[in-house]
Amino acid sequence: MARQKTVLVTGCSEGGVGDALAQEYHRQGLRVIATARNLDKVGHLKAMGLDVIRLDVEDANSIRDAAVEVQKLLGSPLDMLVNNAGIGYYVPLVDADIEHGKKLFNVNVLAVLAVTQAFTKQIVAAKGTIVNVGSVGSLVPVPFQGLYVASKAALLHLTACLRIELAPFGVKVVHIQAGGLKTDWAAHSRWELPDTSIYAPFHDEIESGLHGHLTTFDKTCKYNPPDPLHDFAARVVRDSLGSRPPAQVWVGTGVWGCWMASFFWHTFQDGILSSMYGLKKVAERLAGK
């Protein structure tokens, strides 16, 4: 009888991407280890029969303890590691809090590497697969999301390097280029414009530009609505379980538009993004129009 495949997913709090991925891997017959910093947020997964363990990706001790616990729990190699945990930050770059920026890069980039390092030997033993959940923002200079998209660009290259470095050991590494998804991500990503900001006189223009694009996603994408999480998860799981998974999985609203935009002349790209995020209106006011 074939050994049941195993997968560990980070960032599985209820209602998010990791939650959807964990449930879909479970539906496909894998033994799923769902992790989160707060176990209260994955109780529903435990009730469904998934294994749940605490894993705080910012805590080196937590990562080490989780790796030891997984090894004891499985008694066999780990077939898949899905690095999903991440955070967002929406603010003009000139107003960004540097300490929060460091935290963002730690969670979105360095923590991915730290978790991968902790489970490398278990993955290598299985000749398994590592999946890193990124964003198409890695390709486009999205206003007011500069630190976030920069972290995702870093993750894109980190994933590519891992893919090349681990290939001799039979390990596959997949990067998920995620587009728009129906989550509550935007609802928890508001920012307050500092009174001292150079953008303060243009608060309304900037607020409508940013929040209009994020929190009224269904309206702005009327003819191309964001993908439901279950559709996203089904595609990611299907592709990642293949014997020869693709280097990148493009899934979610707007992914191909972002891909094409990455080839545009910067003047054309800048114009589109400026209009989308209210900066064109700021320029017009500054010019006295």
Stretches in the chain below the pLDDT threshold 50: 212, 214-224
- Annotated catalytic, 25? no
128 Cβ partners below 8 Å, 6+ apart?
77, 78, 79, 80, 81, 122, 171, 172
pLDDT for the residue 209: 60
pLDDT for the residue 226: 52
The two structure tokens encoding residue 275 = 């209009």
CA 80 – CA 136 distance, rounded (Å): 23
> Which structural domains are found in the chain, ordered by start?
6-190+228-255 (3.40.50.720)
- For 51, left (φ over 0), alpha (ψ -120 to 50), or beta? beta
Structure pTM?
Answer: 0.89
CA 278 – CA 140 distance, rounded (Å): 17
Other beta carbons less than 10 A from residue 197's beta carbon: 16
List 90, 148, 199, 277, catalytic entry: 148
List 5, 25, 90, 152, catalytic entry: 152
Please state the φ and ψ torsions of residue 48, each to the nearest 5 degrees. Answer: -85, -5
Torsion, Cα 98 89 255 224, to 10 degrees, reads -150
DSSP letter, residue 185: T
- Annotated catalytic, 152? yes
pLDDT for the residue 155: 98
